[in-house]
Structure 1
């Protein structure tokens, strides 16, 4: 046996949910460009779960289910209020999602129908959890979700307590579409490994959130914003980036394990960043980002990935940077749960082998002789 570090290039599962072929990302065979330009996030979630785009009646039914399940138990809100000051937002989300299982009477019901309902419940509740955490840590009471509005609208409304602008809702909705699924990424693989033991869907999503928390996965967009804040202004971009590249410092938000010719999602987020900058009357973040891209791509040949421009998009939406990765989770839970449902349908325990490289033929030495 020979180990493949990071399982790079290893095909570990057959899936009909999403694909990355020759640099083209599709959900259920539909190009991400087509979905980003035309579909709502709710349509995309339905597509991932059911394998087809919904008709009007099916979309209305899904909206009603999302409305019904969006409220989270008071006990979970009370738990969030007990989290220590400075709690990491992804740690808070991981803990809250795990606890949601305690208040779901179907948590251990492994029927296909119950698991499908739990997928919708998780999709409905994650935005409420993230918004509640964001407000509670500021000493504010959570805002209850509205009915009959999109997930993007509801999240911005619950976060601020104010009706969001149409352009802000559209921008967030498109960002959710772009992040919804991405083949067998680290967090999705973690979810599938967990439920392959026939553990429950809440355990699978909790595992996925733990994987997404890392800066080499979901945390990259937050790291991009940290970099932009450190640079400070457009005039400092060139010296900062040149110095970082000269010292072999990794520039977050560039390059991708799978995409060799650029992430197809990045251009949509770049456009959103530009439009939101115009709306706010402040193009600083966008202009800095474009200059960074020019320098990094020009010198290293690396192109921006989905994380790079999402940092300025979320910041221009007035969202604190430590909520970037939880928003990623709000979107990706649609893909996680689709993969979990697929794993249940044709399950086999995921149990790879390791290439042992330690010592051999070692004899036990009694403790008195050590």
Structure 2
């Protein structure tokens, strides 16, 4: 068995095997959204979060799927590939709509990441930018039994359909304690403003017991092993186009290390990287979905292969009395 690549940059995909070429060809053929779907997206209020748009699109794809109740491995693989191909088109169309722009149709001659940039911005950026985005997709793709993955597995364990499991996972990922953290990082950096305020801002935040987004992890107590890879990719972006947000990021990271010893997680460098690429901040968590979708669908497949209903036990705490409110 060949060794696993130590980092995404070490993986050589220049000579895809026959099954990989077939997979890429099928993905490119499935990217286009039909007119009904585009009209549905256009009717959604611009005030709703892009994650709500993405969740609605997945539910709609499930509703129009004639094989919705077929959870066989082959059919679920086909559904997974369709979502992998179409969801970038949904995210791109929604970002352009919020900017008052018409959708840009997918280009089957472009690779996955290049096509996504093309649909979002009408052009493909420098290869270094595309590579940074690809690295983020690899690093976010799978992360064991996190909240959204567990949600997908719980739904799957009831023998519900794949689209329902993915829609539920999107709902879990939307929360700021999970996928929404990369958005929160950018809001936090903007709140800091002047990089010289990073230490003072952090002292005030810690004194008020405020959660510092982008730091700490439930699993990684001594540092997130994904961060150095993403930080290196981010540094390359910053070198191309210096940005004041990057200075704030570095100052806050140092201040956090000096005061708490808590390390940043992947959301910290990824949030700024997405900003430098030109994506709107509310689109950051949908970008997470485009990556984590692969992990979710792999877990769904695994759950169905060895299924048992997920039914956690709870210990009832009867302490305290709950009054019954008066009738209105």
What's 1:171 paired with? 132
Which sections of structure 1, spanning at least 5 residues, go unmatched?
A: 1-27, 44-53
Residue 93 (str. 1) matches residue 54 (str. 2)? yes
Q: Deviations over 1:96-149 (max 9, x none)?
A: 111111233332222211111111111111111111111122222211111143
Among candidates 271, 293, 310, match of residue 311 of structure 1: 271
Among candidates 301, 304, 307, match of residue 344 of structure 1: 304
Structure 1-normalised TM-score?
0.82
Structure 1 residues 287, 159: closer, same or farther in 2, change over 3 A?
A: same
Q: Which runs of 4+ in 1 moved over 3 A?
A: 28-31
Q: 1:342: Cα distance to partner?
A: 0.7
Residue 328 (str. 1) matches residue 257 (str. 2)? no
What's 1:205 paired with? 166
The CA distance in 2 between the partners of 1:294 and 1:219, in whole Å, is 23
What's 2:188 paired with? 227
The CA distance in 1 between the partners of 2:20 and 2:40, in whole Å, is 33
Q: Deviations over 1:205-256 (max 9, x none)?
A: 0010000000000000111100111112222222212222233221100000
Structure 2-normalised TM-score?
0.92
SS of residue in 1 equivalent to 2:6:
helix
Q: Deviations over 1:141-166 (max 9, x none)?
A: 21111114322111111001112221
Tell whether the 8 Å contact from 1:256 to 1:305 is kept in structure 2 after alignment: yes
How many residues of Structure 1 are paired with residues of Structure 2 in the alignment?
A: 322
Tell whether the 8 Å contact from 2:7 to 2:229 is kept in structure 1 after alignment: no
Tell whether the 8 Å contact from 2:198 to 2:255 is kept in structure 1 after alignment: no
The CA distance in 2 between the partners of 1:145 and 1:56, in whole Å, is 24
Which sections of structure 2, spanning at least 5 residues, go unmatched?
A: none
Over aligned residue pairs, what C-alpha RMSD do you find? 2.3
Among candidates 240, 245, 249, match of residue 285 of structure 1: 245
Q: 1:30: Cα distance to partner?
A: 7.0
What's 2:315 paired with? 355
The CA distance in 1 between the partners of 2:243 and 2:37, in whole Å, is 39
Stretch of structure 1 that moved more, 108-117 or 342-351: 108-117
Residue 34 (str. 1) matches residue 6 (str. 2)? yes
Q: Deviations over 1:23-58 (max 9, x none)?
A: xxxxx9976x72422238xx7xxxxxxxxxx95111
Structure 1 residues 164, 107: closer, same or farther in 2, change over 3 A?
A: farther
The CA distance in 2 between the partners of 1:264 and 1:125, in whole Å, is 30
What's 1:161 paired with? 122
Among candidates 67, 70, 75, match of residue 114 of structure 1: 75
Tell whether the 8 Å contact from 1:175 to 1:269 is kept in structure 2 after alignment: yes
The CA distance in 1 between the partners of 2:282 and 2:49, in whole Å, is 8
Tell whether the 8 Å contact from 1:132 to 1:159 is kept in structure 2 after alignment: yes
Structure 1 residues 157, 259: closer, same or farther in 2, change over 3 A?
A: same
The CA distance in 2 between the partners of 1:220 and 1:359, in whole Å, is 34
The CA distance in 2 between the partners of 1:257 and 1:359, in whole Å, is 29
The CA distance in 2 between the partners of 1:343 and 1:264, in whole Å, is 27
Stretch of structure 1 that moved more, 184-193 or 117-126: 117-126
The CA distance in 1 between the partners of 2:301 and 2:120, in whole Å, is 30
